[in-house]
Amino acid sequence: MSTNKQKKKVVIDATLERFKKASGIIITDYQGLKVTQVNDLRRKLEKAGASYKVIKNTLTKRVLDDLKIDAGLKPLFRGVTGLVFSNDYMAAIKVLAAFGKENEKFKIKGGYIDSKAVTVDEIKALSLVPSRQELLAKFVILLNSPIQRLVNVLDRASKKEKEAVKEEKAETKAAEPEAPKTETTEIK
């Protein structure tokens, strides 16, 4: 086997593994972006637990054939193509959507999420859904809200009771007759 074929085989095998491990693969077009912008995207995706790889379109099509994925994805592999591999595809989609707003030349072509092809419109719709962390935070707030209200009511009741006790003491002091004052003279 020639060296070039061996290199291609290594790339295909690595890409096969990435496809098998990832729950979401997003196909992008990065034409017109500077290297620094692509590297910035890679760093942001890595923070979200995803990776961004540029793989030859012909090799990616072979991977699709090997995995028997025929979901109309092959036409997306034209031109300059980058692949995002992620287990938490929602976080990756959010990063891509934010990056796309900052860089007009960056485009999402489509994707393969949970073993089915998704369109650009479906990915855009997913980018608007709150992330798992945001949903959990809202849920905790919802759970905490009634408890917080109860604590506030009990706190107010406790303060009112303390104020009532203070007022009662003040009233009893005011109602008690004062003892007559006696003058004391000093004997020398």
Would you write out the chain's pLDDT as a tens digit for each of its 188 residues? 678 888 888 888 888 888 888 888 999 999 999 999 999 999 999 999 999 999 888 888 888 888 887 767 888 888 889 999 998 889 899 999 999 999 989 999 999 988 888 888 998 988 888 877 788 888 888 887 777 777 777 778 778 778 877 877 777 776 666 655 666 666 65
Q: Alpha-carbon distance 26 to 120, whole Å?
A: 9
CATH number (3.40.190.10, 3.30.70.1730, 3.20.20.80, 3.40.50.150) of 3-129 reads 3.30.70.1730
Backbone angles phi, psi at 55, to 5 degrees: -130, 140
List the Cα angle 142/148/149 in 5-degree steps: 100
81 and 54 Cβ atoms separated by less than 8 Å: yes
CA atoms in the 13 A half-sphere facing the CB of 49 = 11
Q: Give me the pLDDT at residue 170, please.
A: 75
| 68-73, long-range: CB < 8 A, 24+ apart | 69/19, 69/112, 71/112, 71/116, 71/117, 72/117, 73/27, 73/110, 73/112, 73/117
DSSP annotation of 88 reads S
E strands of the chain, at which residues?
24-29, 50-53, 82-86, 107-113, 116-118
Q: Give me the pLDDT at residue 183, please.
A: 63
Q: What is the pTM of this model?
A: 0.68
The residues spanned by each domain of the chain are 3-129, 130-168
Collapsed DSSP state (helix, strand, coil) of residue 113: strand
